[in-house]
Amino acid sequence: MAAVAAPKNPPKRRRGGPRLLIVLGILVLLVAGGVVWLNVAAQAAVNVSGTLTVYQPVASLAHSGGAAAEAKTGAAVQAGDQVSTDAKGLAAITLPDGTVTRLATSTNITLDSAHFTKNGNQHDVSFTQQIGRTFTNVQHLVTGATFDVHGKSATASVRGTKFEVYITAAGVMTVKVWVGTVDLHNDKGHTLIGPGQQATVNPGGAPGPAGPIQPDPNDPFGPAVDAANAVEVGTTPGTEQDFSGAPIHNGESQVYTYSYAGGSGIKASLGYPGSLMSITMKSPAGDPQSKTDKSPVTVQFANAPAGIYTITVTGVKDIPAAGESPFVAVASNEDCKSAIPGTNQNGAVHRGYTAADLVAAVEGSGGVSGLSNLSITLASDSISGAIISATGTYNGVSWSGSVVLVARNGVLQIVPTSGHAFGLDVPAQQIVQQVAAAIGQDPSNVNPGFMVDRLFTCHAVMMVDGRMAAG
């Protein structure tokens, strides 16, 4: 599952259009060639932060043991930070590679550490979960990479992708695995949990045996997994956007929007614990597709026009007095190819860049004098962000570097991961000033002129999807 929800307060519009291409290229060159070399070249792995999405308040954030305060979507979650949800809160932490950890209500979790390799891949991640439920979709782990969730009774070491951790107030820890494998272990033993299995460990005891996942009416993640799985079929990895709503009752509705970049289809699926709900998806042309059924409920358009699609969820009958929280997953099928200058259709924005596009933009911009022998490489596939590597010569000095570019709270964030330059001694502040002067924006918070909903890479093409910002 992805965990990208559109922020309620989108960034103000600045420069956009084709200039975004030059912005990206100059950032790659100057950040990789200067700032990274000065700051992280000697490190084997680079510290990264996560991005918080608040689906439903209240979610709180405490920095490195400090006092907790109510948090908003887009807040950075650094190593040592603790995220908590109250009895109604729903939230998620997204790492730069697209790894998502979702928090159910009454959950408390701390990001112990998160490091990426110089190549932009996940190196090691560690969480400590005190209480509550989390669901994590870990992206591909390269050889030697680790992802651990520490509970009161044991540690879950991930070897696969989709898994849930539930910890009671008494410290009982249950791990469910949907995809991949998880090693649940402590000093008394370990249990290897495979797809479709769960295992439990009590405080002071060894992990119990793995067995089939048991039905749990209080578990919000089963319906969410079903909905996400439904939209993954026949769509492009990286296009999925998830929404989690507050509890609704019979006759009540919730509305979400999705910016469809165009392609061969769009699909939306609704997951919920029980009762009966309906989902309606309306295209910019106004023609709706509706369905009422047991969870998951899926509707779709084939060869539909690009634009902003509206998804409405309605409670039909048999919803309990406390209400039920719907989960909506939406994904589309896009063409993984260059799109310059891109498209702006019915409010939806789409850009597509190859490595050659970035090279041509930089070389043709005149923004970096003294540059030669430029080469840029885009990693082939990533459901969240783009790993960009570059080499070149700057005033006779060879340099190389890599950055991860991600969408964060509607804008773009640069995460430097490596850099090397022989004989180049330029103060970091001077490089930052050069970047700011070249693009007219803060290089750590790049506003492309529209609100970015998704940024991913497919077949070595960087895809940027979003919508026109208000104002």
In the structure, what pLDDT confidence band is assigned to residue 421 with cuts at 50, 70 and 90?
Answer: low
CA separation (Å) from 315 to 267, 275, 283, 397, 448? 20, 8, 21, 64, 38
Identify the pLDDT of residue 3: 41
pTM: 0.83
Are 45-212 and 232-333 the same fold in CATH? yes
CA–CA gap between residue 136 and residue 64 (Å, rounded): 22
Which residues, other chains included, contact 436 with Cβ-Cβ below 8 Å and sequence gap of 6+?
Answer: 442, 443
CATH class of 45-212: mainly beta
pLDDT bin (cut points 50, 70, 90) of residue 246 is confident
Q: How would you class 67 by CB atoms within 10 Å of its CB: exposed for 0-12, middle for 13-18, buried for 19 or more?
A: exposed
Q: How far is CA 231 from the centre of its chain?
A: 16
pLDDT surpassing 90 at residue 168: yes
Q: What is the C-alpha separation between 380 and 355, in angstroms, rounded?
A: 11
Q: Which residues contact 409 (CB under 8 A, 6 or more apart)?
A: 7, 11, 51, 73, 74
CA distances from 15 to 359, 433, 440 (A): 20, 18, 9
pLDDT digits (tens, 9 = 90+) for 10-34: 334 334 444 455 555 555 554 444 4
CA distances from 277 to 204, 323, 363, 457 (A): 43, 12, 54, 34
The architecture CATH gives domain 232-333: Sandwich (2.60)
Domain ranges of the chain: 45-212, 232-333, 339-467
> Which tokens hold the place of 408?
């964060």
**Residues 6 or more apart whose Cβ sits within 8 Å of residue 92:** 3, 52, 53, 55, 100, 101, 102, 103
Cα gap 199→207, rounded to integer Å:
7
Comparing 276 with 13, the larger pLDDT belongs to 276
Distance CA 384, CA 394 (A): 30
**Tens digit of each residue's pLDDT (9 = 90 or more) over 399-411:** 777 778 888 888 8
In sequence order, which residues have a C-beta less than 8 Å from that of residue 65 and are 6 or more positions away? 80, 82
Round the average pLDDT of the chain to a whole number and report it: 83
